[in-house]
Amino acid sequence: MNPIGSIATLSGDLLIGVIAGLVFIEETGIPVPFAPGDLLLIIAGVAIASDTVEPIPMVAALLTATVVGAIIGREVFAAVGRPALMKAADALGFRPGLERATHLLRRRGALAVFIGRLIPGLRISTTQVAGVSKVPRLTFAAGLIPSVIIYIGFFVGLGALAGQPAVRLFHRAEHRFFVVAVTVLAALAVILSIRWLARRGALSALEPIVLGVRRDMADSIDAAIFRGGEWRQYPLTRRLWAGLIDLAIVFAVAILILTAVSGLDNAEIVLDPQGLLLLAIIALVYRVPIEARTGQTIGKTLMGISVYGPDGGVPGWWRAAARNLVGVVVVVWPIDAVLLLRSHRQRLGDLLTKTSLRRVAH
């Protein structure tokens, strides 16, 4: 049974009461996942355009339910939210960040409430933070009321102008966004979990396999190709195999995202400009943060190599971003291939950012 479809079949005062009631419940801070407020406003607009309800009672009920619900939500979070949140902040160590956010909301006052209440997905959170931050009631109301008028006017007007297709489009887009967001978060959780386990030695059972590929095979290949001992500090084969591991991770994440968006039967990666752009974006999102903070992606960790800045430490954000941005530009790959044959194995991105990729394990 589709709750949204059931609501859309109602009419008259019953429809007004149901939509206004659900909006009121959501505004107080109680989640209504099957009927988000934005979609309810669009349905109200469709009902007005189709003469199912009178416009003035519907709009008046929506304004009243939203404003009263938000005010009650602010009071609830002002009364019980701050002590509980502060305990969690102290336990998790993010109290300084919470204090800064509270200070910003208090300093910006009504303007911050107004802007936050206009952003889909942040409306209820703005009310909750305003309560936790003890934003004065009049200040909250000064930002709340004009934002509610604009917000309701926009979404009800969208429903009245676009009609039923707007409901289907919004519902489909919201579902896709939710699936993609869950997929990306799940992939990120897997990547971070693997790194966390690896850094604490929990993957030691895989060490014989990793060493067999990394030390015995990769190093013997470099020893056979290159003369001298510089290859030990700047190994090429380890670097190539680390890149293949990271590329496999990027492809897996891309397939997960495409499957979430288009379904299992239609998921495929085509190496046209759009496909390459998707892979490049995923690669940057995956590589830049962990290289900036640790110098090692999952592939580099397994291969025992790391990116270093000019001072011998981790490269930092701008160097990690710059070297990887250059690395995803296809036209420079032939140049990189030539540069990697030099003694220090620095590709173009490394030369520009003064970084190097060296061995950290034997």
**Residue 314 CB: number of other CB atoms within 10 A?**
19
Report whether pLDDT(1) > 50: no
User: Is 140 within the bounds of a domain?
Assistant: yes
Same domain, 184 and 137: no
User: Is 84 within the bounds of a domain?
Assistant: yes
Same domain, 151 and 272: no
Report whether pLDDT(264) > 50: no
Same domain, 216 and 270: yes
User: Is 168 within the bounds of a domain?
Assistant: no
Same domain, 110 and 210: no
User: Is 7 within the bounds of a domain?
Assistant: yes
pTM: 0.48
Give residue-wise pLDDT tens across range 201-221: 655 555 555 555 556 677 777
Same domain, 152 and 27: yes
Residues with Cβ within 8 Å of residue 100, at least 6 apart in sequence: none
Average pLDDT over residues 179-201: 63
Picking from 162, 195, 210, the residue at the C-terminal end of a domain is 162
The mean-pLDDT minimum among 60-74, 151-165, 189-203, 219-233 falls in: 189-203
What pLDDT, on the 0 to 100 scale, is given for residue 331? 79
Share of the chain above pLDDT 70, in %: 66
User: Is 229 within the bounds of a domain?
Assistant: yes
Domain that holds residue 331: 174-359
Same domain, 186 and 280: yes
Average pLDDT over residues 161-167: 61
Same domain, 351 and 222: yes
Residues with Cβ within 8 Å of residue 132, at least 6 apart in sequence: 77, 78, 81, 82, 85, 102
Average pLDDT over residues 113-133: 80
Question: Of residues 81 and 143, which shows the higher confidence score?
Answer: 143
Query: Given pLDDT bands bounded at 50, 70 and 90, which one contains residue 270?
Result: low
Give residue-wise pLDDT tens across range 219-250: 777 777 777 666 677 788 888 888 888 888 88
Picking from 132, 162, 192, the residue at the C-terminal end of a domain is 162
Same domain, 152 and 224: no
Same domain, 157 and 178: no
Cα separation, 182 vs 264, whole angstroms: 16
Same domain, 181 and 220: yes
| Average pLDDT in the chain | 76
Same domain, 59 and 113: yes
Share of the chain above pLDDT 90, in %: 9
How many domains does the chain contain in total? 2
Same domain, 187 and 301: yes
